[in-house]
Structure 1
Amino acid sequence: MQSFLDLKPQWPDLVGSSFRIEGHYAILVRDSLRMKNCDLPFKASQPIKLLGNSKVIEVSGRLAKEMTSGKLYFEVEQVRQLPTDLQTMAERERAITRGTSKQWYELAEWAGPRGKFYSDEELIERANLANRKGLNLERQELKELTFKTLRTLTSRISELGLEDSLRLDWLHESYWLEWEALQKSAPQVDLTAEDIDLTKDPMFQFLNRLANDLSGAKTRITDVLPLLANEYRRNPVLTYHNASDAKRRTLERLFYTEVATAALARVTKPDGRNGSEIANRIDELIPDQHELAEKHRDAELQFMARNSATLTRTQLGDLVQRCRDRKQSNLAKEAITRWLARREQSLRKDGVTGLIQLSDERLALLQDQPGAGALLLEALQLAPRNEDVLERLKELGYQEVNGQWVAPQLNPAAPNIPMPVVNDTELERFIR
């Protein structure tokens, strides 16, 4: 019937032409027929007799025109009753029980459009089932199941009109196959390089595609049932296959988190020097792993503290402030101590002036009165009457006893000298 209706614009020119039309009849009254979805009258020269319950018939005859009105009609010469569409479908299914994927696709191509044309939901569902069988057979016929071959099949699911849950199921499986292969094949990252271009890293490229194709990948989750997470770790493909739509979004996030964590781990420098960069990426990609981000920030501070001797004064000031902000006072002290040790090597060459500066910096940066005093006493040996040295010793509570300068803690008669309070301005003056 569909192909006959496609010729409707040409019907006037086809009067007298013979046709054999197969379709569903809607109304039968004696010698007149009305076919479903067709407004053309079908008329016979004698009453039409149909015995079975099937509405499917094959009508033979020709196009004709009323002499008086000029209206077109179909002159029926013969009518043959056929099995119902579902009966025909069942018969064809039995014939290809052990058939090929191509045969199932061909059956679906017959049943699907026919079901839509006649609004037959059951026939449409049977067509979908045929397509699904064909797709499963095609998967079984693959020489090797790889993420590429499976993804090619997955792309056909929408074309075949099958449910999106099946597409997501196979797409998720293809990504797991790719992830397993990628972990073995990804080239090692050169961690000695100054900069690492993440946009060219295969794992980060994979992560971006995962986020684009699985909607739950970038959806932050708060509470994940441990049982579900454990099941997914043990068998991700089967767990996802059996999960509801809502649980699938959670599993997609778990998958994304695993990939992101592994991708970041492989570009993390073992000495912690790029900790802030890694931490920022964690907060961007997997913010629910913020504690891990903080560990990387601490690792970078520890690296900088270990290498503070090579910093400029400005860089040291920044580092000390960062340590303070993160309540890492011991780390700040370690950084300053290492930096001062390097400074001491160069300032000692300046004699008294250098020792005075070292004393000032030690007092300002570490509030180390004994250490500052020891440096001033050393300077005093080089210049016994230097006013700057004497003034600083007195400020620290030292007193001259029998020609010797005595530290406050060794002189019971010395007044209680308060520890100097160093404000940010004073600290900045010494560091910068």
Structure 2
Amino acid sequence: MKSFLRIIIVTILLTPTAASAATLSTAEFLALEKKWPELAEKSEALRVEGRVASASSKLIKLRNCPLPFRPAGAAFDEKRQPAGRVEITGVLQRRAGELVFVVTELREMPDDAQVYALKQSAIDAGDPADWYDLAAWAEQRGTFYDDRSLLAKATEARRRGLSVERQSAAGDPAGLVALAKKAKGFGLAELEYELLHESLRVRFEQLRADAKSNLRPLIDDIRLLLSGAQQPLDTWPMDVAARYAAEPLAVYNRADETSRPVLDRIFLAEAQLTAIERLADSEGANGDGIADQIMAVLPERRDLAERYREREIAFHLEHITSSTRAEALKLATRLEATDRADEAKRALTKWLAAHEATQRTEGPSGLVVVAEDYVAVLGDKAAAARLLVEALAANPESTTIPDKLRQLGYVKVDGEWITKQEADTRPVEPIVQAMREGRVVLNMSPEQVRKTLGVPDRIARAASTSQIHEAWIYGARSGLVVHFLRYSAREQEKSRVVGVAKLR
């Protein structure tokens, strides 16, 4: 039945009537309005098609046409009141001073939807020009009759034509841009952005494959052509970005107008990160610089920037033993700022150990340098004192090293450098305590007495076959007489105090 109907409609569309006049659309007929009087004088046959606005036995009005269409006889056939689309044949005449179209033949025609379907079935679907011609016809009719359905068909026909051209332009950035301009001219903004996006993606994939390529012109074009690219996001949409990365064209083409600006931004970020990350050191040595570049153009990618900063921290930790003092201190400061004080201390300790090994080759002066660093860097006075004592042992004539030990709070007790706190709590032998207090007690050696009271004013000696007695007399100062006893004339230092008396 449908095939039969189609044959009938095609026959009506394509078979000429007896009259030779070409069929004018209502719009074309209106364009000749200034010539209507002349055509009436010539009684030239006309054929006009259009949509019926109203019809009665004596009058037909076509939509958007002010001219009345009247029957050549007394009346139109009442059994065939026309509706929809008609083709009217006749001539222009003046009746009672009024210009009218006198109808000699009236035919009902397929409506515009049917005509569109027939035209579509007859075109070459692979020829975009055929689609654009069909769209132009539908748009002209749809605009004249304010027919939204027909206008929608015009839009769809243009989409079909662009789709054919798009297949041919695949992989050709310039061809896709040209199509985008055509889509814009057709008022297809959504398709325009699809084509622009596809063209930019093609360029991106080509440039990404070449590590030495310059991505800057492409990045500038993304910012210029994709409206959402320059708008930073509040948070980075990880899931959306992952889906887009997997199927960029499909995801973009499926997205609605509210989602595409986010995809624009994701695409821009992908291009910018590709350019920036090409400069990244494989071991993370320039992580801070990479992070700064990321934050400058993509503030919403703080997560990625922080990963690069962590890579640089890891790099410096790995190479801490070869770092300069400034680099080690900078690293420690960064770690402390992120509540990683223990890690900072371990790093500095490791650096100081390596620093110590290097400075040892410089002798006592190198040990002094490291000792100062232990205090300045870690506040480790014990480690500093250890190195200073070692340096003093290697250079016992130094006067500055003892000063540095004292500045650290160390004192020398019985030939040993210890802290004042340790000295205050260390048990003291009676002889040592007496020496500190300036007293002489039994069993002191001559050296201990000299350290306590100094050199005596005079010495008196008495000897027997087995003993030697000495009396050290401190008359002017303390009025003491210290009595020593020894058993060998040659071993004076074996003398010991056996008595202390006060001069009268």
**TM-score normalised over the length of structure 2:** 0.60
The C-alpha deviation readout for 1:389-432, integer Å capped at 9, x for no partner, is 33331233433244x343449x964659xxxxxxxxxxxxxxxx
Match of residue 87 from structure 2: 57
Match of residue 396 from structure 1: 408
Q: Does 1:299 align with 2:311?
A: yes
**1:378-397 matched pairs, under 5 angstroms:** 378=391, 382=395, 384=397, 386=399, 388-397=400-409
Is residue 380–residue 389 contact of structure 1 (8 Å, CA) maintained in 2? no
User: Secondary structure of the equivalent of 2:209?
Assistant: helix
Q: Does 1:272 align with 2:284?
A: yes
Q: Does 1:159 align with 2:185?
A: yes
Match of residue 122 from structure 1: 149
User: Secondary structure of the equivalent of 1:185?
Assistant: coil
Distance in 2 of aligned mates of 1:174 and 1:261: 19
- CA separation of 1:365/1:275 partners in 2, compared to 1, >3 Å: closer, same or farther? same
By how many angstroms is 1:296 displaced? Answer: 1.6
Match of residue 183 from structure 1: 208
**1:359-370 matched pairs, under 5 angstroms:** 359-370=371-382
Distance in 2 of aligned mates of 1:79 and 1:325: 95
The C-alpha deviation readout for 1:250-280, integer Å capped at 9, x for no partner, is 6555545544443332121334343223223
Any gaps of 5 or more consecutive residues in structure 1?
Answer: 189-200, 417-432
Match of residue 136 from structure 1: 163
The letter for the 1-side match of 2:233 is: R
By how many angstroms is 1:297 displaced? Answer: 1.9
Computed over aligned residues only, the root mean square deviation of the Cα atoms, in angstroms, reads 4.7
Distance in 2 of aligned mates of 1:55 and 1:383: 122
Query: Which moved further from structure 2: 114-123 or 321-330?
Result: 321-330
User: Secondary structure of the equivalent of 1:127?
Assistant: helix
Distance in 1 of aligned mates of 2:237 and 2:303: 17
Is residue 15–residue 62 contact of structure 1 (8 Å, CA) maintained in 2? yes
The size of the alignment, in residue pairs, is 391
The letter for the 2-side match of 1:150 is: L
By how many angstroms is 1:370 displaced? Answer: 3.8
**1:347-362 matched pairs, under 5 angstroms:** 359-362=371-374
- CA separation of 1:383/1:413 partners in 2, compared to 1, >3 Å: closer, same or farther? closer
Q: Which has the higher contact order (CA 8 A, sep 6+)?
A: 1
Q: Does 1:2 align with 2:2?
A: no
By how many angstroms is 1:368 displaced? Answer: 2.8
Is residue 222–residue 268 contact of structure 2 (8 Å, CA) maintained in 1? yes
Match of residue 220 from structure 1: 233
Is residue 287–residue 308 contact of structure 2 (8 Å, CA) maintained in 1? yes
The letter for the 1-side match of 2:417 is: V
Distance in 1 of aligned mates of 2:302 and 2:425: 51
Pick from 110, 115, 135 the counterpart of residue 137 of structure 2.
110
By how many angstroms is 1:356 displaced? Answer: 5.8
Match of residue 62 from structure 2: 35
Identity within the alignment, %: 26
Distance in 1 of aligned mates of 2:103 and 2:62: 15
- CA separation of 1:356/1:159 partners in 2, compared to 1, >3 Å: closer, same or farther? same
Q: Does 1:146 align with 2:181?
A: no
User: Secondary structure of the equivalent of 1:272?
Assistant: coil
Any gaps of 5 or more consecutive residues in structure 2?
Answer: 1-25, 427-504
Is residue 304–residue 335 contact of structure 1 (8 Å, CA) maintained in 2? no
Query: Which moved further from structure 2: 115-124 or 273-282?
Result: 273-282
By how many angstroms is 1:109 displaced? Answer: 0.6
- CA separation of 1:389/1:99 partners in 2, compared to 1, >3 Å: closer, same or farther? closer
Q: Does 1:83 align with 2:94?
A: no
- CA separation of 1:225/1:342 partners in 2, compared to 1, >3 Å: closer, same or farther? closer
The letter for the 2-side match of 1:153 is: L
Query: Which moved further from structure 2: 244-253 or 320-329?
Result: 244-253
The letter for the 2-side match of 1:90 is: A
Distance in 2 of aligned mates of 1:56 and 1:178: 53
Q: Which has the larger radius of gyration?
A: 2
Is residue 364–residue 394 contact of structure 2 (8 Å, CA) maintained in 1? no
Is residue 59–residue 78 contact of structure 1 (8 Å, CA) maintained in 2? yes
Is residue 25–residue 57 contact of structure 1 (8 Å, CA) maintained in 2? no
**1:245-256 matched pairs, under 5 angstroms:** 255-256=267-268
The C-alpha deviation readout for 1:89-115, integer Å capped at 9, x for no partner, is 222222225562211211111111211
Distance in 1 of aligned mates of 2:101 and 2:112: 25
Is residue 34–residue 42 contact of structure 1 (8 Å, CA) maintained in 2? yes
Is residue 399–residue 406 contact of structure 1 (8 Å, CA) maintained in 2? yes
**TM-score normalised over the length of structure 1:** 0.69
Distance in 2 of aligned mates of 1:15 and 1:179: 66
- CA separation of 1:74/1:257 partners in 2, compared to 1, >3 Å: closer, same or farther? same
The letter for the 2-side match of 1:178 is: R
Distance in 1 of aligned mates of 2:333 and 2:65: 84
Distance in 2 of aligned mates of 1:311 and 1:74: 104
The letter for the 1-side match of 2:86 is: V
- CA separation of 1:274/1:6 partners in 2, compared to 1, >3 Å: closer, same or farther? farther
Greater per-residue strand proportion: 2
Is residue 40–residue 73 contact of structure 1 (8 Å, CA) maintained in 2? yes
Distance in 2 of aligned mates of 1:264 and 1:301: 19
By how many angstroms is 1:214 displaced? Answer: 4.5
By how many angstroms is 1:293 displaced? Answer: 1.5
- CA separation of 1:242/1:27 partners in 2, compared to 1, >3 Å: closer, same or farther? same
Q: Does 1:406 align with 2:432?
A: no
Is residue 276–residue 296 contact of structure 1 (8 Å, CA) maintained in 2? yes
Distance in 1 of aligned mates of 2:94 and 2:425: 129
Distance in 2 of aligned mates of 1:358 and 1:13: 115
